[in-house]
Amino acid sequence: MVAPLLSIKNMNVSFGSTKAVDNVSFDLEKGKVLGIVGESGSGKSMTALSIMGLLPYAKNLNFSGIIEYSNSSKKIDLANISEKKLNKIRGNEISMIFQDPLSALNPTMKCGAQAIEPLCCHLKKSKKEAEKIILNIFEKVKIQNVKKVFNSYPHELSGGQRQRVMIAMAMSTNPRILIADEPTTALDVTVQKEIINLIKDLQLEFGMSVIFISHDLALVKMLADDVLVMNKGKIVESGATDTVFSSPTHYYTKALIACRPKLGVNPERLKTINDFIENKTAANPIIAQKKCDFQEKVLSVENLNVVFKIGKNRNTAWLKANDNISFSLFKGETLGLIGESGCGKSTLIRAILQLIKPTSGKVLFDNMDLTEISKRKMRNLRTRLQIVFQDPYSSLTPNLTVQDALVEPMKEHSVFKNKKERIDYIVYVLEKTGLSSDDLKKYPHQFSGGQRQRIVISRALVLKPEIVFCDESVSALDVSVQAQVLNLLNDLKDEFNLTYVFISHDMNVVNYMSDRIMVMHNGKIVESGLAHEIINNPQKDYTKTLIEAIPTM
């Protein structure tokens, strides 16, 4: 029997009394792909960082266990060797792709200069040799215009391009093991599919072993031979991928599978992990009846154009971010807006809210053209038009408590007469979003991602809006937390009589939430209609491509 390439035995990672990884053991076979799935905080990334010897420094950190790596000549316990010896293996024989390439790449260095570092450091290549190798790998990972990307800074590239640069860096030394930690989170469905296919192709071409970490079960199913399911630091289920996903035995695995919104299936509520813990697992969920008879128009966009100037002097060019867009929004509906990054979705919302000035066109609300009114009038209207941004952590001020963050806009817009009335209403809204008065004095870093999103939603609701724009507001959340937030948004819509514009690149989520859907591509609305018609009978090739790219279980 061939020995595994990597064998983890009884691995434990704890910070004080908190166990991040709890007695984890598994093998990685040569040439195989091992998937690790679970929610945030389940121990997936800590497991990967332990293998790489990159655990965060902390005085109360405790590690135990064996990480046995079968080198070409001998077995090495990576947890029990010097930093100097580990550095020869890390980034050379074992490489890692991190979740967020924008934070993992050095913003002050061009991508090419960063990409050649492993080759110069580990393989002692000259800069000229390393550049030639990297440009060749850039082509292998399907980067367009490789020299331009080589000479670009990370912020000048799209999310998909940055992720490809990260993959190229990880692949440059021809590693025996590649660890991919959430490499496609928050990427468009088409880019996501390309990245998965790319990892699969490279794995087959180079005969690598891969550890693929994700909270998206459908992606793991596409790629992995075997899978581990982690919860609260423990492996709760493992086995061949097809077996685990077709016949799961643990309630947590069943819950993860059931939490995902699915095309063509529209339950009134999505299941969450807690539903399975509390045995609320009805075999036949209630199917939501979507409305299609909205009458009262609350917002109209007419021939809206947004053009940006890019470059300087002779290199000046004009980018049409929004191209002659027209649509109406009706009271009480959820209008879904779907499209890839860069298609103009977020620009459109910012133009509607006058956060950027449209080049031309009209935005009609309450018998006013928002493009023509004064800043003072627009400021007064902002209580009625609110937005929930994608990243709750960056949209909350880190040094403000929840109470201060929510009181501030209410005071600014004179919502209620005094502090007591404001705090009473804040507590009422927080309780509606699943939080409580106990959370008022806490800071953003003391909450989970899902809880922070609830705070951001609460901040929008305390101003008593009529229309809420949700801009990729669940894209980076785990499937179960995502299900909780989507259920919450639907509950709040009924409770507060809201109208939503729901923006996402995830067709499953848009289908679940929306009464009508608009599809955007290259700044234009290419298709629109009732949600079930768009999903079941798309007319445009681009819409068909988006639907076909969706990973399925």
Which amino acid makes up residue 345?
Answer: K
- Which residues, including other chains, have CB under 8 Å from residue 47's CB and lie 6 or more apart? 8, 11, 21, 24, 36, 213, 230
Residue among 498, 434, 489 at smallest CA distance from 463 = 498
If one looks up domain 297-384+466-548 in CATH, what number appears? 3.40.50.300
Alpha-carbon separation of residue 484 from 263, 474, 477, 493, 501 (angstroms): 18, 10, 10, 14, 19
Question: Highest-confidence range of 39-53, 273-287, 444-458, 520-534, by mean pLDDT?
Answer: 520-534
| pLDDT tens track for 273-326 | 777 766 644 444 444 555 555 679 999 999 999 998 876 777 778 889 999 999
Better-scored residue on pLDDT, 184 or 382? 382
| pLDDT tens track for 187-231 | 778 878 888 888 898 888 888 999 999 888 888 999 999 999 999
Residue length of the chain: 553
| pLDDT tens track for 432-461 | 888 899 999 999 888 877 788 889 999 999
Alpha-carbon separation of residue 189 from 111, 116, 194, 504 (angstroms): 24, 29, 9, 10
Which pLDDT belongs to residue 293? 58
Which pLDDT belongs to residue 188? 76
Better-scored residue on pLDDT, 539 or 390? 539
Residues 48-52: contacts with CB within 8 Å, 24+ apart?
Answer: 48/96, 48/179, 48/181, 48/211, 48/213, 50/11, 50/13, 50/21, 50/79, 51/6, 51/8, 51/78, 51/94, 51/179, 51/211, 52/90, 52/94, 52/96, 52/179
Q: Which residue has the tokens 């195989």?
A: 32
In this prediction, residues 527-546 reach a mean pLDDT of: 94
List strand residue ranges (DSSP E) for 331-441, in order. 334-338, 360-365, 368-369, 385-388
Alpha-carbon separation of residue 55 from 290, 495, 540 (angstroms): 48, 45, 48
Report CA dihedral (493, 494, 498, 500) to the nearest 10 degrees. 40
Which pLDDT belongs to residue 41? 80
pLDDT band with cut points at 50, 70 and 90 for residue 29 = very high
- Bridge partners (DSSP) listed for residue 301: 327, 363
Distance CA 259, CA 272 (A): 6
Residue 406, token pair as written in the block: 């929510």
Distance CA 364, CA 352 (A): 9
Is the CB of residue 493 less than 8 Å from the CB of residue 339?
no
Is the CB of residue 6 less than 8 Å from the CB of residue 69?
yes
Better-scored residue on pLDDT, 293 or 9? 9
Which pLDDT belongs to residue 480? 79
160, pLDDT greater than 90? no
Distance CA 466, CA 499 (A): 6
In this prediction, residues 509-537 reach a mean pLDDT of: 94
Burial category of 63 from C-beta neighbours within 10 Å (exposed 0-12, middle 13-18, buried 19 and up):
middle
548, pLDDT greater than 90? no
Residue 491, token pair as written in the block: 């509950």
Residue among 471, 482, 490 at smallest CA distance from 389 = 471
- Bridge partners (DSSP) listed for residue 520: 525
Residue 504, token pair as written in the block: 């996402």
| Main-chain dihedrals φ then ψ at residue 325, nearest 5 degrees | -90, 130
71, pLDDT greater than 90? no
* Residues carrying CATH 3.40.50.300, the chain: 1-93+178-184+210-240, 297-384+466-548
267, pLDDT greater than 50? yes
Residue 424, token pair as written in the block: 């009473």
Write out 36-65 in H/E/C secondary structure.
EECCCCCCHHHHHHHHHCCCCCCCCEEEEE
| pLDDT tens track for 87-129 | 989 988 999 998 777 778 999 999 999 999 999 998 999 999 9
Assign residue 232 a region (left: φ > 0; alpha: ψ between -120 and 50; beta: otherwise).
left
Distance CA 480, CA 434 (A): 15
In this prediction, residues 505-523 reach a mean pLDDT of: 92
State the distance between the two ends of the chain, measured CA to CA, in whole angstroms: 32
If one looks up domain 1-93+178-184+210-240 in CATH, what number appears? 3.40.50.300
484, pLDDT greater than 90? no
Better-scored residue on pLDDT, 471 or 28? 28
pLDDT band with cut points at 50, 70 and 90 for residue 540 = very high
DSSP 474-497: TTTS-HHHHHHHHHHHHHHHHHHT
Which pLDDT belongs to residue 289? 52
- What is the DSSP-derived secondary structure letter of residue 90? B
In this prediction, residues 408-430 reach a mean pLDDT of: 94
Mean pLDDT for the chain overall: 89
3-state secondary structure of 146: helix
Q: Cβ of 153: how many Cβ atoms within 10 Å? A: 15
